[in-house]
């Protein structure tokens, strides 16, 4: 049985029994009621059943559901109100005449006297003269036998919770400022009111016959189906949109990068994000006075603050920096500082992973890559983050050449879906020759990374005697291009709806 909701503006034919019971309850309360009132009037045993029926009525246009946040208060500790408030105790004590402050402190306790004096002054119940004698005021005399608003609320709180209203809000806030008295809580209060369509359905008449939405074998066998009303289907009723799980665009891109390099015969490697400056910079022939090593650009650590270095490598790297060592160059021509190289930091690139891998695998052939997080002390904007990812790779072969590097990177980006790739001359401290890689997208060239051949000053100190091709490519920029992000920060937003709308391929 199918209904297109065409039986009139306020037809009740497409309503379930639970929905009709709610409309009936609302009519008893003048068209507006709380959930508690509806539940008691309709005999709902299960709150979930009530809310489900209400949400359907709302979706069909029969009712409004208003929600508001209500604050309420409870006693934090009943023992805290087992005796009068400190100011009330002092007020009672000075009713017969002024009393020395010291005597009052001994009477109610030194831990309570300062609180009492503060509130006595605030309420205007007492004054303290120069000799530190406390005397009652006219306002205090008037309050002697009359409980204050805060005391009345405390008495109520001994029996029940108290909801915040405009009338008691200030008093409750004052009580809340006192430690160990009351606790503040919040709850969502829902009220339901009839819309015009709901009123029309009630006026048209509600029937409460037994009805079902699904026939069972037992009902068919017994013949009860002849007596039971089958609830019509509303083909326009909203249904829940089911969205299956899917990978985050960043993870999907990382996975594709890994699969492409694996197809090309590369081994995936990993390394720690906490490194020494030695491996992150010195081993890569980055001079110790390079701007990238400043605290404004690099995250240095306090714990651990330094690493112990391998002695066999230290002297060779020192020589490469100071005079070129056995590389044939003149080096940087300064005095190398080992303490600077020992400093601990968050890695500034993933090249540190490949150089350490080369130090442990000094014989060709080597084809390795890694995709990892790196950290730089940069101001965040639409194109920069202080924490992002890099795609790193190396090839060591006896016949490795610059032409091979160009071919490998062009093939990688072709497999990633970019046919137009451009190589431009570039400069990096640890590669020579060097080049930058651009891809053509959206009518323009976009830079995606740098590459080159490791210099002898990088390779000789770690014991490598063969040419090594190397590259470091941006991952987030690749994600932005593939998925249409305009701001790099949007990649990391917790926007589930947006993620669900993204293409699977």
| CB proximity list for 443: less than 8 A, separation 6 or greater | none
Per-residue HEC secondary structure of 20-54 comes to HHHHHHHHHCCCEEEHHHHHHHHCCCCHHHHHHHH
Is residue 427 marked as binding? no
Is residue 447 marked as binding? no
| CB proximity list for 429: less than 8 A, separation 6 or greater | 284, 285, 286, 287, 290
Q: Tokens 């002092």, residue?
A: 90
Is residue 49 marked as binding? no
CA 144 to chain centre: 54
**CB of 162 within 8 A of CB of 8?**
no
Is residue 136 marked as binding? no
Is residue 392 marked as binding? yes
**CB of 368 within 8 A of CB of 393?**
yes
Distance CA 132, CA 104 (A): 11
Distance CA 86, CA 101 (A): 13
| CB proximity list for 259: less than 8 A, separation 6 or greater | none
Q: Which residues pair with 379 in a beta bridge?
A: none
Is residue 454 marked as binding? yes
Residue 408, by phi and psi: left (phi above 0), alpha (psi -120 to 50) or beta? alpha
Number of residues written out for the chain: 505
Q: Tokens 């990892």, residue?
A: 372
Is residue 391 marked as binding? yes
Helical residues (DSSP H) of 225-362, grouped into ranges: 249-263, 277-280, 311-322, 338-342, 351-360
Q: Which residues are annotated as a binding site for L-phenylalanine?
A: 351, 390-392, 430, 454
Q: Which residues are annotated as a binding site?
A: 351, 390-392, 430, 432, 454
Q: Which residues are annotated as a binding site for Mg(2+)?
A: 432
């Amino acid at each position: 049985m199918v209904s297109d909701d065409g039986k009139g503006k306020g037809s009740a034919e497409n309503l379930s029994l639970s929905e009709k019971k709610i409309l009936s309850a609302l009519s008893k309360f003048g068209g507006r009621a709380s959930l508690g009132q509806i539940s008691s009037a309709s005999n709902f045993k299960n709150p979930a059943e009530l809310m489900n029926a209400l949400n359907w009525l709302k979706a069909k246009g029969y009712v409004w559901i208003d929600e508001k946040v209500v604050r309420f208060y409870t006693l934090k500790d009943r023992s805290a109100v087992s005796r009068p408030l400190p100011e009330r105790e002092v007020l009672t004590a000075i009713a017969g005449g002024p009393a020395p402050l010291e005597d009052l402190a001994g009477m109610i306790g030194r831990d309570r006297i300062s609180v009492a004096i503060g509130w006595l002054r605030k309420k205007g119940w007492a004054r303290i003269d120069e000799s530190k004698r406390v005397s009652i005021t006219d306002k205090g005399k008037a309050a002697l036998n009359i409980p204050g608003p805060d005391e009345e609320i405390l008495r109520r709180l001994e029996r029940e919770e108290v909801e915040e209203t405009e009338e008691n809000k200030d008093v409750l806030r004052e009580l809340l400022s006192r430690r160990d008295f009351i606790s503040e809580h919040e709850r969502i209060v829902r009220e339901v009111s009839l819309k015009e369509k709901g009123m029309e359905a009630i006026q048209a008449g509600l029937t409460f016959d037994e009805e079902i939405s699904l026939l069972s074998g037992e009902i068919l066998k017994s013949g009860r189906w002849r007596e039971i009303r089958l609830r019509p289907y509303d083909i326009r009723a909203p249904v829940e949109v089911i969205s299956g799980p899917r990978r985050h665009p960043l993870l999907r891109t990382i996975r594709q990068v890994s699969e492409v390099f694996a197809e090309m015969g590369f081994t995936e490697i990993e390394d720690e994000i906490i490194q020494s400056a030695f491996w992150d910079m010195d081993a890569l022939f980055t001079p110790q006075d390079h701007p990238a090593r400043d605290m404004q650009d690099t995250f240095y650590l306090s714990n651990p603050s330094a690493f112990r270095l391998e002695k066999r490598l230290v002297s060779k790297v020192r020589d490469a920096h100071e005079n070129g060592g056995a590389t044939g160059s003149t080096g940087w021509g300064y005095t190398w500082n080992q303490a600077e190289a020992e400093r601990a930091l968050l890695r500034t690139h993933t090249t540190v992973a490949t150089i350490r891998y080369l130090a442990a695998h000094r014989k060709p052939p080597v084809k390795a890559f890694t995709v990892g997080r790196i950290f730089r002390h940069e101001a965040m904007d639409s194109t920069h983050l202080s924490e992002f990812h890099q795609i790193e790779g190396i090839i060591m072969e006896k016949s490795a050449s610059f032409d091979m590097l160009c071919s490998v990177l062009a093939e990688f980006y072709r497999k990633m879906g970019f046919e137009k790739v451009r190589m431009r001359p570039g400069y990096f401290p640890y590669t020579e020759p060097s080049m930058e890689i651009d891809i053509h997208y959206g009518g323009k060239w976009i830079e995606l990374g740098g590459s080159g051949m490791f210099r002898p000053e990088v390779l000789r100190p770690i014991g490598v005697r063969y040419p090594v091709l190397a590259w470091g490519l941006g991952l987030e920029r690749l994600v932005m291009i593939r998925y249409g992000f305009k701001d790099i920060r949007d990649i990391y937003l917790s926007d589930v709806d947006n993620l669900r709308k993204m293409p699977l391929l």
